[in-house]
A and B are shown apart, each in its own frame.
Chain A
């Protein structure tokens, strides 16, 4: 499980960074998306990996925290997803504006 998850995060991050360094704006935005997926999975894994454990504890009585998943990283991931979704959407608008104004999709606004 650890191996699969770390491999997935690694591949996502590596492809994301590769695309981020490419000269076309669309590649940059896809790269940013992949990177943010990798980061979200990474945050999730920082709460330790558990199988089939709920994150919400019942009210009252004794609860054994070991049989529950850490809820905090899940909340953090949720916030991070929403924020990166919004900023990526904004970036998309700027990308289209840039394409319209310069007539090229190169990140510097002109063909090299």
Chain B
């Protein structure tokens, strides 16, 4: 039997898994073959993600929402493992694909040769990310988190060196502890409710006996702590700048989505479990997430102002971005306008892309004479790789003209998005959040005013910090401009192009986000959809009986 269109849902997990496993067989010297397999895998996953996105938009009939399911091994819904795709997950899958493609292209220019098994680990990271976005139960979420973390440990150490090993040591220790917290939380939730299926939990929470509710809340809080560590909320974020700075450029670029995994899970679970319909638990944790998010934004922009290097600055921008989304989610969870959530999702998309592009720009910007060629020669010595003539070819031919102009323009676009200045996408997102916060009738709460102030001040601080770096690099630099390969600048240009596209097509994107926010705020759609998922065996039986 040929696999039907239903199997599309599991493809974003299976494709990178098989690609990664296949590449383990190849020798480290067969770079071209590895690159081809990686590229095919990334493109195929992106295609599947886009297809799922289109499908999850549904039609008028289904209320502009179509939730897809995949029952593994055809076990009925709350008992077996289930993959669920809805608007939010589809959006995150597409974002992963859009970040993976430029990062991989950039890595193919030089970084992929700096150590072993880059491509395999990259694919396993994608598998973990896609799995975490697709899974429908808490324990599988843990498993996919571990897959993506294990791959990220390897990627962070990619390229070697003292700085990376030290940063990696802290990163691994923090994340192992985080995983243990996750396990404690999961088991508490299981002890209190007897299930780990997100949809069933969402149905059970309003009816939970009062004696068990504190236990459930404790479990959810401990679990939330693990996600918040990943999202980089203050004060659990001190590991983040060092780790992101230590990573190689393409690794940092794909890590831009790692904090967003934490944010995604927080958004998904808090609205499923503590949404408006959750009875006594409604809005639980909303205030904490809101305050924590605002503290993260504050910490982030102070860090941006205090940073000397652009690498540390970009790492603090990651914090500003995830803090903004977390605080917005907290506001919506505490019962404010859903438009805030829609705008913050849009902002998240734009800022993640921009940060990823910034990480890819940093390394060429700071490159000295000889740059990547010297670096390559060094590692070729260290690893004893035989550097054949043909591998060196592209370095001679394809350096781009007017390097500083191109780099400067791309940098400028990133600054505009991250500082939230018009005309690019960051502005639209921030404007939407501000509008949602301020346009809610008679009285605007004081916390909302504080958040408004923070958003504007953080944008301003970002502008100051990045413009300072821009002036140093592009105007006040002396000597020859750095040599940058076309292969390295092309991915950045693609990301900038995507940002411009997001701005031009803002109405389409924002409408998608609004519907997504609506769907997220109605957990019953998700829950009923999942629990009503028909088994293939039942369907076949129905066909036979008449």
List the interface of chain A (C-beta within 8 A of B): 20, 25, 28, 32, 35-36, 39, 42-43, 46-47, 72-73, 76, 79-80, 83-84, 86-88, 90-91, 94-95, 97-98, 101-102, 107-109
Contact = CB atoms under 8 A, between A and B. Distances in A.
A88 B170 contact: no
A91 B161 CA distance: 16
Contact of A20 (B143, B177, B186, B187): B177
B168 interface: yes
A80 B184 CA distance: 11
B50 interface: no
Given A46-B187, A79-B143, A102-B166, A35 B153 contact: no
A108 B165 CA distance: 10
B173 A90 contact: no
Given A25-B169, A73-B187, A94 B153 contact: yes
Shortest 9 CB-CB contacts between residues of A and residues of B: A46-B191, A43-B187, A46-B187, A109-B166, A101-B162, A83-B146, A98-B165, A39-B183, A39-B180
B184 A42 contact: yes
A107 B172 CA distance: 12
Contacts of A47: 190-191
Contacts of B179: 83-84, 87
B421 to A, nearest CB: 39
Contacts, number: 87
B169 A87 contact: no
B200 to A, nearest CB: 13
B176 A98 contact: no
A91 B173 contact: yes
Contacts of A101: 161-162, 165
Interface of B: 139, 142-143, 146, 149-150, 153-154, 157, 161-162, 165-166, 168-170, 172-173, 176-177, 179-180, 183-184, 186-188, 190-191, 196
Contacts of B170: 107
Interface centre among B177, B180, B186, B190 (most CB of A within 10 A): B180
A35 to B, nearest CB: 5
Given A90-B153, A101-B162, A102-B162, A42 B169 contact: no
A35 B161 CA distance: 30
B183 A98 contact: no
A90 B150 contact: yes
A96 B170 CA distance: 14
Contacts of B150: 86-87, 90
Contacts of B183: 39, 42-43, 80
A32 B173 contact: yes
A29 to B, nearest CB: 9
Contacts of B180: 32, 35-36, 39, 84
Contacts of A20: 173, 177
A41 B367 CA distance: 51
B271 to A, nearest CB: 25
A95 B168 CA distance: 10
Contacts of B146: 83, 87
Given A86-B150, A91-B172, 18 more contacts: A32-B176, A42-B187, A43-B186, A43-B187, A46-B190, A46-B191, A73-B187, A76-B190, A79-B143, A83-B146, A87-B150, A87-B153, A94-B157, A97-B165, A98-B165, A98-B169, A101-B161, A108-B166
